[in-house]
Structure 1
Amino acid sequence: MEAVDSNGKSIGKDSYVIYNGTGTIGKILELKTQDKSVWVKTDANDLWYNSIYLQAIDKIEEKKLKRKSEDIDGKIKKSHKIVGDDIDMSSELCDGGG
């Protein structure tokens, strides 16, 4: 059985993929077939992914995605500094809907 990603593109050992659920990026280390599904193990972690939930990417794209993720993390940290972590949210001054 041939391994294909969520777009029907063939993937194999040493291909780079991204898991659509969490954005985890990795290089394919192993493939196995079980219960009419192809399972893929990447170098990102010790988990097996069903190939239909992966998307093939270029190695260059992997670097761009990591950089974008780091930018987002930086913006989140910056917003915490601006807003501050010492805001008291326990007060019930504003009623919500309903």
Structure 2
Amino acid sequence: MASDARDKEISVDDYVRYVDTGTIGKVLDIKTEDEIDWVLLDKTNLWYKSKLVEVLDEKDIKVKFTPTGREFDVEELKEKVAEMENMEMDSSVAEGGG
């Protein structure tokens, strides 16, 4: 039985978040090697140590899909917009030639 960072059981088809980067993905497979549990995520097709992911409730999943099929994180997009809104525009930054 694989368990996550909070000792919750992980099953195939669960959605998990990699705690270091926030990557969210669906668990495709689970394996144990040298007494370490690993989970394979669909988004990256990479194996992650089970103790470095956390199982998400359906209400916690923030991944949305666009009509083109590309996915994005709504919260990440909001943060980027806020960063752009907080940028200061200053007329002395660049000078025109002439």
> Into which bin does the TM-score normalised by the smaller protein fall?
0.7 to 0.9
Secondary structure of 1:29's match? strand
- Cα deviation for residue 87 of structure 1 reads 4.2
Query: Structure 1 counterpart of 2:81, which letter?
Result: G
* Number of the residue aligned with 1:77: 84
Partners in 1 of 2:46 and 2:9 — Cα distance?
20
* Structure-to-structure mapping, 1:57-96, within 5 angstroms: 57-63=56-62, 66-80=73-87, 83-84=88-89, 87=93
- Give 1 or 2: higher strand fraction: 2
- Structure 1 regions of 5+ residues with no counterpart? 89-98
- Structure 2 regions of 5+ residues with no counterpart? 64-72
Query: Structure 2 counterpart of 1:50, which letter?
Result: K
Partners in 1 of 2:25 and 2:4 — Cα distance?
14
**Deviations 1:12-40, CA, capped at 9 Å, x for gaps:** 10001001100101110111111111111
Given the two structures, how large is their TM-score scaled by the length of structure 1?
A: 0.75
Partners in 2 of 1:70 and 1:14 — Cα distance?
26
- Cα deviation for residue 84 of structure 1 reads 3.8
The alignment of Structure 1 onto Structure 2 pairs a total of residues equal to: 84
Given the two structures, how large is their TM-score scaled by the length of structure 2?
A: 0.75
Partners in 2 of 1:53 and 1:44 — Cα distance?
16
- Give 1 or 2: higher helix fraction: 1
